[in-house]
Amino acid sequence: MTSATITLSEFQQPSRLTLLFRYLRRNISLVVGLFIILGLVAFTVIGFLTLDTKDAYPLSAKARQPPSLEYPFGTDFFGRDLYAAMVVGMWQTALIGVLAGAIGTFIGVVLGFTSAYFGGLIDGGIKGVCQVLTPIPVFLIQVVIAGSLDKRSVTIYTMALIVVLLSWMGPTLVIRSQVLSMKERQFVSVAKLSGLGDGGIIFGEMLPNLLPFIAAAFVGQVFSAVFASFYLAVVGLGPLREPLLGNTIWAAQTQGAFFNGWWWWPLAPAVAMVLILSSLALINMGLDELANPRVRRTE
Amino acid sequence: MSIKIILQRLAFLLIVIWSAATITFFIPRISTRNPIRERFGVLARSGGFSPQDMEQIVQSYNRKFGLDKPLIQQYWDYVSSLARGDLGVSLFKFPKTVAELIMEALPWTIGLLLVTTVLSFIIGNLLGAIAAWPHAPGWMRGVATPFVMLMGVPPVLLGVFLLFFVAFRMKIFPLGGAYSIGIVPSQTVEFYLDVLRHMLLPALALIFGQVGGWVLSMRGMGITIQGEDYVNFAEHKGLGAYTIFKDYYLRNAMLPQVTGFALALGSVITSGIIIEQLFALPGIGTALIDAIKFNDFLAIYGIVLFITIAVASLMVMVELLYPLIDPRIRKG
Amino acid sequence: MTPIMKIINLQVSYYTDSGRARALDGVSLSLEPGEKLGLVGESGSGKSTMALAMMRMIKPPGRIEGGQVIVGGTDLTALSDDEMLKARLSKISYIPQGAMNSLNPVMRIGAQMVDAIRAHNHSISGSEMEELCLQTLESVDLKRSVFRMYAHELSGGMKQRVCIAIGVLLKPQMIIADEPTSALDVVTQRQVMETIDRVQDKIGAAVILIGHDMGLMAQFVDKVAVMYAGRLMEVSHVREMFTDPKHPYAQALIKSLPNLDNKGIFQGIPGMAPALLRLPRGCAFHPRCEHMMEICQSVRPDLIPLTDGREVSCHLYSEAN
């Protein structure tokens, strides 16, 4: 065989940065979503740095003031400075979301894994419970739980727990099916044959492959936790003293804000909530595009 | 579908209902509030009962409702009365029965939710299918976008905005309630029109909030179906774009959407309850929230049970009817 | 005889993030009515692209950049979109690879055949269409009852034959069969190939059979065309292609076929097919060619006719001429 030289026609591979920009240009949702979330984070951080969180609670400012220079978002019936309320409220919403999201994902991973890895009765039991709980409208149960608690014991943390109580089924089933399919695949058998113990297989081989699903489950759980806590607050079942965004809207409605002309009261938290949820949804959609190449639009 | 499968699904349904009933039985009992005592407390303020007399009345009612028996006994009584179809009496709105409570509130809820859910499903899926179809004109595909942008926004927030812009600023539609104050509900056209005026904003909020979800999922499904070999082959056969859209693309993409519809029913109820609160509509959602506020356990059980049975039954029904649209699932 | 099909200098490119890939780089070919041509080449050589280009089914980011596809006197590349729709199935039809998924799962087989007819002929009656479909089903050795069945009720071989039936329903002048047997077992493969042979004979259509199973080619086609990197390397009659291939690539291909005489000794072709984004200058095969000469590195050889209807694209033969 003669050796051959390949003469290339003039051709340049575009730089990696260019390829990244081209991708981002197509995946607009991810970019916009991240942008909004960063904006909200900045708002909250600046807020915490510039004001006194006490102002988010009743009787700290003149009541029923429309937006002005002194009170950028106005004040409510109870004398809260709505600007402070928004900042604290957003932080609390984020807290609930991340807390409940983390716990929910954790339970999902543990249960899903146990169920699939050990199989048999354990699997049947866990799977059965998930399946039976799924058709029950979860919000109903959450509403009943939240409504039965003594008003004083409803705090942000109890909200997170109530929310988590009925949201772990989703991640459990997803992780379980992933682990089940992994069990069938060769690399587990190979690992077993090479003498790796259960622990080694679980942490060394399977968990790394599960990471994208765990990450996706986490994002989903945060999203649904923010939603659920918002819904509970909006029907008046949240920790009423806290300036959670949903609480503010509920308080505004029960005091007849629109009837009385205090339009800014429900509007500000509504806008904030929309921004939070839209950005989470956009990020979700953007990640979906990343993961599923067929959805990608071609130039 | 074989009889065995149908029976399995029905048995599953029963288990779901029983679980829901059991969970909701025990939860409100955590609280120490007694709705009967509260109700009489309210009455006592207007009438003139002495504390001892009131206490006696409360005890006798407690006995009547079996509230003095041990919890397990109460549970058993409850389940057996359910099996007989007896939902009991509302403790707070006494002497109304829970069944009456539900029947009064139901029409408002069903009217709103049924119409909005079906409309959202149809509009959303059609828009989504068009959005993913490369041969559709650009403007048609663009119609879907605003709905998708609204997707992350729950109907209640849309409701707030609609209230602000349309009801508050422009004063076109009312701020809440199911009908104007002072009007007595009747079967007249006038009344129906008034109700329609009041229901429009809540309906719009629900529709705009739900359409986006269907658009997105249908669009995703549409893109997947487009890549399928049979759509390709249909083009090779020289079929027109409209025919391929209808028979090869839409018909296949709809299958998982129908399943999704069944699954979405739970979240529809959720949004429905909250919208009812926001717009002060006298539906099942409001009835439930009120019952919770007064810890009226029997009403709570009854309403939650009713909703769960309705949602779960619809789900099972859709599942059992699925073979009618997908020949692959039919038996033999 | 005038050729029923002529492809003249067909050029197809795909525009990707990484640049322009020349999937078909000036391919010219012709076929007589009733003639069967086997199109072979490695994965990525452009065989399927050619089929799609002929059917005008190249989708963005791909584009037909130039050339003509003339079937029965009509230049398909010059037709409007609507006219091309009509031409598909009636003038030129396509039998897909892997019929597993080519049939609509929620429509009955009969409905899928009828809608193909209806799309081309609005005046024909329902019962006439049904009769045509039933007869076509019989001609591919399927029972008339298949008409009422669903795709999932049929075996792989049966599904493939349904696709063949659809392909000949309107008696086209040209049939492209894109690896119609690759997903089937050997026995079914033979049945399917025999079916294609029979129906094609009956309607006198020309067939391009795309594939990489040389053995199957040998039993079925009249001529063989070898493609490489989007270009035609050689077109010869089947017998000669196997006994006396002219192009070095074709020679290497034939030599690599397993042979009962030298069991266990496998001969591949060293090197790799070039990326269509970065085609070598001159002859596309020169980096891997035993007989490479200096001119091969800079000048692209044309497809030159040799004696008795063969064509080769190689500098070895232009000198001999």
In DSSP notation, C95-123 reads E-S-GGGTS-TTSBHHHHHHHHHHHH-SS
> Do residues B261 and B318 lie in contact, with contact meaning Cβ atoms separated by under 8 Å?
yes
pLDDT digits (tens, 9 = 90+) for C8-56: 999 999 998 888 888 898 899 989 888 999 999 888 788 889 999 999 9
Chain B residues with CB inside 8 Å of A253's CB? 277-278
Domain tally for chain A? Answer: 1
Question: Between chains, do B247 and C104 touch, taking CB under 8 Å as contact?
Answer: yes
Measured CA to CA, the distance from residue C48 to residue C41 in angstroms comes to 10
Contacts of A236 in chain B (CB under 8 A): 277, 289
Task: List CB contacts (< 8 A) between B324 and chain C.
Answer: none
**pLDDT above 90 (res B267):** no
- Which residue has tokens 């391009």? C208
Name the more confident of B168 and C283. C283
Which pLDDT band holds residue C114 (cuts at 50, 70, 90)?
very high
What is the reported pLDDT for A14?
62
The chains in contact with chain C, meaning 3 or more Cβ pairs closer than 8 Å, are A, B
Contact B312 A263 (CB under 8 A): no
Q: Which residues of B touch A258 (CB under 8 A)?
A: 163-164, 167-168, 175
- In terms of Cα–Cα distance, which of A4, A40, B264 is closest to C292? A4
Task: Show which of residues 218-247 on chain B sit within 8 Å of chain A, judged by CB atoms.
Answer: 220, 223-224, 227
Q: Which chains touch A (3+ CB pairs under 8 A)?
A: B, C
- CATH number, position A198: 1.10.3720.10
> Which residue has tokens 């005889």?
C1
Going by C-alpha positions, the residue among C108, C112, C182 that lies closest to residue C152 is C108
Give dist(CA C298, CA C213) in Å, integer: 32
Instruction: Quote the CA–CA distance of B57 and C301 in Å, as a whole number.
Output: 109
Give the containing element (helix H, strand E) for B9: helix B3-26
Identify whether C61 is preceded by a cis peptide bond (ω within 30 of 0): yes
Distance CA A169, CA C13 (A): 49
Q: What angle do CA C118, C173, C36 make, to 5 degrees?
A: 135
Q: How far is A48 from chain C (nearest CA, A)?
A: 45
Cβ-Cβ contacts under 8 Å, C273 against chain A: none
Residue A7 lies in a domain: no
| Closest residue in chain C to residue A11, using alpha carbons only | C278
Contact criterion met (CB < 8 Å) for B27 and A145 = yes
The beta-carbon neighbor of C102 closest among B230, B239, B251 is: B230
Tell if the CB–CB gap between A137 and B307 is shorter than 8 Å.
yes
β pairing state of C304-305 and C311-312: antiparallel
> Taking CB atoms and an 8 Å limit, are C17 and A11 in contact across chains?
no
**Percentage of residues of chain C with pLDDT beyond 90:** 27
Q: Which residues of C touch B229 (CB under 8 A)?
A: 96, 98, 100-102
CB spacing of B238 vs C120 below 8 angstroms: yes
A38 touches chain B (CB under 8 A): no
C231-237 and C311-312 beta bridge pairing: antiparallel
Instruction: Specify the 3-state DSSP secondary structure of B156.
Output: helix
Domain contains A108: yes
B171 CB-contact burial (10 Å; exposed 0-12 / middle 13-18 / buried 19+): exposed
Residue B310 Cα distances to B12, B27, B108, B228, B262, angstroms: 14, 21, 15, 37, 12
Which chain C residues are Cβ-neighbours of A13 within 8 angstroms? 18-19
Give the pLDDT confidence score for residue B33 in this predicted structure.
67
Instruction: Provide the 10 A C-beta neighbour count for residue A90.
Output: 23
Flag the least confident range among A147-151, B273-277, C311-315. A147-151
What are the helix (H) ranges across B184-296? Answer: 189-226, 229-236, 241-243, 251-279, 284-293
Name the closest residue on chain C to residue A5, using Cα atoms: C287
Residue A46 lies in a domain: yes
Contact state of A231 with B270 under an 8 Å Cβ cutoff: yes
Query: What's at B52, amino acid-wise?
Result: Q
Report CB contact under 8 Å: A299, C61.
Answer: yes
Q: Rounded to 5 degrees, what angle do the CA atoms C304, C307, C312 make? A: 30
* CA-wise closest residue to C50 among C220, C172, C179, C196: C179
Round the CA-based radius of gyration of chain B to a whole number and report it: 25
ipTM, two decimals, is: 0.85
Q: Tell me how far apart the alpha carbons of residues C127 and C118 are, in angstroms, rounded to a whole number.
A: 12
Q: What is the pLDDT of residue A201?
A: 67
User: Could you say which residues from 5 to 44 on chain A have a Cβ atom under 8 Å away from some Cβ of chain C?
Assistant: 5-9, 11, 13-14, 19, 22
The per-residue pLDDT for A298 is: 39
Q: Which of A163, C26, A130, C227 has the alpha carbon at shortest distance from B270?
A: A163
Contact at 8 Å (CB) between C225 and C235?
yes
Q: Average pLDDT for consecutive 10-residue bins of chain A (299 residues)?
A: 42 64 69 81 80 71 73 77 83 88 90 81 86 84 80 80 86 84 70 68 72 80 87 84 84 79 82 84 70 47
Query: What is the least distance, in Å, from the CA of B109 to any CA of chain C?
Result: 36
Nearest chain A residue to C15 by CA distance is: A299
- The reply to whether A14 falls in a domain is no
Give me the pLDDT at residue B119, please: 92
- Please give the angle made by the CA atoms of B39, B44 and B50, to the nearest 5 degrees: 125
Strands C36-40 and C206-211: parallel
**Length of chain C (residues):** 321
Q: What is the mean pLDDT of chain B?
A: 80
Closest-CA distance of chain C to residue B294, Å: 53
Residue C147 has pLDDT above 90, yes or no: yes
Mean pLDDT, residues B79-95 taken together? 70
Residues B28, A137: C-beta atoms closer than 8 Å: no
Q: Please report whether residue A44 resides in a domain.
A: yes
Residues of C with CB under 8 A from a CB of B: 55, 57, 85-90, 93-94, 96, 98, 100-107, 115-116, 119-120, 150, 152, 163, 166
For residue B174, name the pLDDT band (cuts at 50, 70, 90).
Answer: confident
Residue C18 in tokens: 């990484």
Q: Which of B115-124, B147-156, C187-196 has the lowest mean pLDDT?
A: B147-156
**Is A117 inside any structural domain?**
yes
Query: Is pLDDT at C134 greater than 90 in this prediction?
Result: yes
Could C281 and A7 be called an inter-chain contact, meaning their C-beta atoms sit closer than 8 Å? Answer: yes
Distance set, CA C88 to CA B84, B303, C82 (Å): 66, 61, 10
Q: Is A195 an interface residue toward C (CB < 8 Å)?
A: no
Confidence (pTM):
0.74
Residue A263 lies in a domain: yes
**Nearest CB to A7: which of C270, C292, C297?**
C297
**A44 min Cα distance to partner chain B (Å):** 21
Q: For residue A235, which residues of chain B lie inside 8 Å, CB to CB?
A: 273-274, 277, 289
CB atoms within 10 A of CB C285: 27
On chain A, the residues whose CB falls within 8 A of the CB of B151 are 281
Task: Show Cβ contacts of residue A257 under 8 Å, excluding neighbours closer than 6 positions.
Answer: A77, A263, A265, A266
Tell whether the model's pLDDT for residue C308 goes beyond 80: no
Tell me, yes or no, whether A19 lies in a domain.
no
pLDDT of C285 above 80: yes
Tell me whether residues A135 and B28 touch, CB distance under 8 A: no
* Cβ pair A8:C289 closer than 8 A: no
Domain of A213 in residue numbering reads as 26-291
Report yes or no: A32 at the B interface, CB cutoff 8 Å.
no
